[in-house]
Structure 1
């Protein structure tokens, strides 16, 4: 009897020992992630990004390239593949390319280090490491972290759930959550290569613009085309639309929406058909930061956000709104017309 009990005890100890060896703590995984990011010299990834903001959910294909330490190429294409934008970072600066309009904008910016980026692995790891209150769980195949985000509008998108493959710590998915923890942005990774190699000009601005235009040709002249006026669905308490003007232009129209209220908050939203830049156009230098609005990349300065979407230029300007409020309003100007 004693021998049987001894064997049972030894067996249980072996089981517990194996279980302990097989389960990693949150601290273990964070250390492994820190080490992995330090070791990566370059990676390529494919992902699908879905947006639930607005009335019309949208899906984008995302191709991500990163070469250590600071070269980036993020190509975003909508599901119809008739629109695309690309964010590039090289020794000359940060560029946002819109191939269909032959337009490129240059920023002197520390992007992507200044904000969360749901499709960049090292940004996700940084969010995990920096959030000392991050929640951690594990399934049979995955490690799951819930962390705070570092977005300009993090009151609208305060949390994210990051799922990693247990086997190699590659990203599986990211859900960016609203305050009620509803997913507004979902990124699903389909292919991640942590041993990628790159050619010398893979991050060259002109090479990438030319290559992108083979997939999404430059639009024919768009001047004079009609467009549907879009209204922000996000609200600032007490602020309403008080004026809408249509200004006739030589090559189309400009719509100016004025919002004001009882308090000190007011803003103006301007919309007009985008123009195609000449073939010889050089990058336009922009003061401010590139800002990810979900459905497009815009330019954010102290009192203005400008962006282009579906062939229309938008400018949101305000001396009273915070940057966070401006981003919230800009993100909501898409989908079905709301008045």
Structure 2
């Protein structure tokens, strides 16, 4: 009887060890496949949760080793499209609706955690010596710390691989166990053929503007925004520029004006960019600039954090 019991214990231990070894093998294979690939293509839907609301984006990512990246994202409600590009000339954001590109003095995309950049997902996994590897009936799950440059409450990521195929199916950025950003992967292919034209600024802009066509510009009757910090509001307006100042414990100013040819032809270099609800925001010292419905908005403050400026930007409504 003792021999049977001992045999059962040994067998259980062996099976458990095999499962752990198998999970580690799957993890190693996944990491190596990205680190050794010549290129990859990813398509999926990204959901960003904010309070009781969420925004959804279609994401299309192309990578070519060693350091070429193109990320096209489209807001699924407004259909607004932007392209994030890193090529041999630098880092750019392309805004086809404005027929304009912006250049950045940035080390994007490896300067911070980005859920849609698999290279960075892998780097965060490998950097965390306390990463966790687990499994459910459907998935292998790899969990690690992340370093999100805006939302510091996003403290970990979970990477899901389908157990039937060992293919990437989902990535989530989480506050504890609460999912805040979710990327549901529809397509993920390694070593796809891609040419230098995929990363040509001129070629991409031609393709994107052709997709937009001659659509009508939305006319604005009223611009409003929340006052999340309950501050005194002072508004000054002339024929071209409106300045709204919020004064109190947290001082900031919103400056906005209708877009003109002179604004669009002005060459500017920004520090970084951030994802807003339906556009991209461009950051420089103590300011956040973004474009919405044929208007340029600029939030200026020495007291707001970048996350707070993003909150203000997302509250601005055009009717």
Taking structure 2 as the reference length, the TM-score comes to 0.84
Instruction: Report matched runs for 1:127-142 at 5 Å.
Output: 127-142=124-139
The equivalent position to 1:52 in structure 2, one of 49, 53, 56, is 49
Question: Any idea what the Cα deviations from partners look like across 1:259-298, whole Å, max 9, x if unmatched?
Answer: 3324xx42222234445789xx779341312233464322
1:230 aligns with 2:225: yes
- DSSP-derived class of the 1:36 partner: helix
Cα distance between partner residues in 1 of 2:118 and 2:281? 22
Unpaired stretches in structure 2, ≥5 consecutive residues: none
Aligned length: 317
Residue 224 of structure 2 contacts residue 316 of structure 2 at CA under 8 Å; is this kept in 1? no
Give the match for residue 316 of structure 1: 299
Residue 74 of structure 1 contacts residue 88 of structure 1 at CA under 8 Å; is this kept in 2? yes
Residue 54 of structure 1 contacts residue 336 of structure 1 at CA under 8 Å; is this kept in 2? no
Instruction: Report matched runs for 1:124-203 at 5 Å.
Output: 124-166=121-163, 170-178=167-175, 181-203=177-199
Question: CA 1:69/1:136 → structure 2, altered by over 3 Å: closer, same or farther?
Answer: same
Cα distance between partner residues in 2 of 1:246 and 1:276? 24
Instruction: Report matched runs for 1:184-263 at 5 Å.
Output: 184-217=180-213, 219-220=215-216, 225-231=220-226, 233=228, 239-250=229-240, 254-262=241-249
Cα distance between partner residues in 1 of 2:255 and 2:210? 31
Which range moves more in the overlay, 94-103 or 266-275? 266-275
Unpaired stretches in structure 1, ≥5 consecutive residues: 234-238
Cα distance between partner residues in 2 of 1:310 and 1:156? 31
- DSSP-derived class of the 1:65 partner: strand
- DSSP-derived class of the 2:223 partner: coil
Alignment root-mean-square deviation, CA: 3.2
Give the match for residue 100 of structure 2: 103
Deviation, 1:134, is 3.3
Residue 44 of structure 1 contacts residue 196 of structure 1 at CA under 8 Å; is this kept in 2? yes
Residue 115 of structure 1 contacts residue 152 of structure 1 at CA under 8 Å; is this kept in 2? yes
Deviation, 1:312, is 3.7
Deviation, 1:137, is 2.3
- DSSP-derived class of the 2:198 partner: coil
Cα distance between partner residues in 2 of 1:104 and 1:329? 23
- DSSP-derived class of the 1:334 partner: helix
Question: CA 1:205/1:94 → structure 2, altered by over 3 Å: closer, same or farther?
Answer: same
Cα distance between partner residues in 2 of 1:147 and 1:20? 22
Deviation, 1:202, is 0.8
The equivalent position to 1:270 in structure 2, one of 240, 252, 255, is 255
Deviation, 1:227, is 4.1
Deviation, 1:38, is 1.8
Deviation, 1:60, is 1.1
Give the match for residue 290 of structure 2: 307
Cα distance between partner residues in 1 of 2:129 and 2:295? 42
Cα distance between partner residues in 1 of 2:91 and 2:266? 11
Residue 113 of structure 1 contacts residue 123 of structure 1 at CA under 8 Å; is this kept in 2? yes
Question: Any idea what the Cα deviations from partners look like across 1:184-233, whole Å, max 9, x if unmatched?
Answer: 322111110112110231110111111112222355456x6334322364
